[in-house]
Amino acid sequence: MLAILISPEAAGKYALLSDTLGKGTNLLLTPYTVWIAPRLMSARNESGISAGRVLFLSSVRTSLLIAFGVQIGMLFAVVVSTTTRQFLGVDDLGLGFAIAAISSIWSLGLVTHKGLEMSDKVSLMPVCMLASSIIYFFGCLIMAPIAGVWGVVISSLVAASVYVATTSSLSIVALNRSVDR
């Protein structure tokens, strides 16, 4: 679809950067997500929802700090290292940074929806995913012809941010409503 909306070359560059930077970012964030997920459920099961809620909020803060650290590290690597820029084909530093940020936001979403799991509201997760997908699809249809690859990046950034914002908000509300019932 992207090759139709923007040039095949731009779509290929976006795919390369998304895949490379996305996997790199996920490799750095996934270990924490895998480590914290069972601890969140154990806290809920052993000590109740209020203990799980405290750990959930703490894990979201920690994930934000890790994501921020990854972004700073990637920005440093791309800005400082000409070799890294050449390897990734990043001639637009902002584009590389924005794509890495999208991956970090999606990785954060792996933690923010845990509150929905903890409060047995997993049925809300597909609704959040569907909303994000619709935003991405229509965002690309509207923005890509106008702004090219940046339109795709902006659409993806907004879709990822909406997913994290909605799952975080719904998680907090669900956890607050189900405190130790």
Q: How many domains does the chain have?
A: 1
What pLDDT does residue 80 have? Answer: 60
Residue ranges making up the domain that contains 113: 2-177
Q: Residue 78's pLDDT band (boundaries 50, 70, 90)?
A: low
Q: Residue 85's pLDDT band (boundaries 50, 70, 90)?
A: low
- At residue 146's C-alpha, the angle toward residues 101 and 90, to 5°, is 40
Considering only CA atoms, which of 147, 177, 153 is closest in space to residue 105?
153
Specify the pTM: 0.79
Helices marked H in the chain — which ranges? 2-5, 8-47, 49-80, 82-88, 93-112, 114-118, 124-147, 149-177
What pLDDT does residue 138 have? Answer: 95
Instruction: Kindly tell me if the per-residue pLDDT of 17 is higher than 90.
Output: no
Q: How far apart are CA 116 and CA 40, in angstroms?
A: 11
- What proportion of the chain, given as a percentage, has pLDDT over 70? 86
Instruction: Kindly tell me if the per-residue pLDDT of 87 is higher than 70.
Output: no
What pLDDT does residue 90 have? Answer: 58
